[in-house]
Amino acid sequence: MHRNGLRRYRCPLCKKTYTEPHKRVMDSMYISHDKAVLALQLLLEGSSIRSTERITGLDMNTIMKLLVLAGERCQALLDSKIHGIDIDDCEVDEVWGFVFKKEVRKQRRSETAYGIGDAYCFIGIERTTKLVIAHHLGKRDQQSTDAFLSKLAIAASWKPFQLSTDGFRTYPGSVKAHLGSRVNYAQIVKVYGRDRGGEQRYSAAQVVDVVRTVISGNPDPERICTSMIERQNLSVRMGMRRMTRLTNAFSKKWENLQAAYSLWFAYYNFVRVHSTLKQTPAMAQGLTDHVWTIRELIA
């Protein structure tokens, strides 16, 4: 038997061995499709690299290579499928993570490498269909905001839509530059009370006020909200082990975190059935007519 489970044959004349015709996983990996799908399924359900290694029997380096290759394919899929779509209501937020070490430790050692330290993922979600329209992994700065909104501008059609963000100061200028008059744009800022100490210091502080500010256009006051995108942030932290708070799980390389995000959002859009919609976000948006499998996702 071949190492990926396929039957091997020997030529009676030349004595050379060969395997039955097959297609490698993502054109380069020798593992079986079943094991590749199982490994990705475990990663998408919040398992760590080490636990996935123990369950599947695959080497940790093989799993990491599989993750990166799958992430690249999923990003290409998202770019090709989510392009020029009609949306009505978009919510945007950033979710924090870090690569290799937290920003405060990086600054203490005067390190300047871009690929380590804080890593913010900007995410845009369509409120009605729950489709993740665009995402961008970067720093919480003007450059990353511009890069994200340029992706959002490409993903959305020229049909006007409402846009809600938090109060991050770089949003207004970037929205004006990349989306212009296409959006009715408003910011929502939550004012929190004092942080609680003791055993409750890791719990969210109490919201004492919510300030909604119209930036451009004529947004509907009832729809100025970021609740859906904040719920998506929770899904990210539950589904991606490296994004779980207050644990020792984190990314060691920038490209690994980027691949994990691309894989997660493609899975969320095309494979995972939303409990409220009773279908996937891609089906609700009209991008596909069936629930995809992980095998289809990486085909």
Q: Can you give the pLDDT at residue 196?
A: 65
Band (pLDDT 50/70/90 cuts) for residue 52 is: very high
Whether 162 contacts 90, CB under 8 Å: yes
**154 three-class SS:** helix
- Inform me whether the pLDDT recorded for 245 exceeds 80: yes
Domain extents in the chain: 33-297
Q: Can you give the pLDDT at residue 13?
A: 84
Range of 29-33, 103-107, 149-153, 186-190 with top mean pLDDT: 149-153
The more confident residue out of 107 and 286 is 286
Report residue 180: phi and psi, to 5°. Answer: 55, -130
Q: Can you give the pLDDT at residue 107?
A: 84
CA distance 7 to 31: 14
CA distance 68 to 290: 26
DSSP 12-24: TTT--EEEPP---
- Inform me whether the pLDDT recorded for 199 exceeds 70: no
Tokens of 114: 């871009």
Sign of CA dihedral 80, 84, 88, 93: positive
Strand partners for 51:
none
- Inform me whether the pLDDT recorded for 2 exceeds 60: no
Q: Can you give the pLDDT at residue 56?
A: 95
Query: pLDDT (tens digit, 9 = 90+) per residue, 97-132?
Result: 999 999 988 888 888 888 999 999 999 999 999 999
Query: pLDDT (tens digit, 9 = 90+) per residue, 17-40?
Result: 877 666 667 767 778 888 999 999
pTM to 2 decimals?
Answer: 0.89
Band (pLDDT 50/70/90 cuts) for residue 49 is: very high
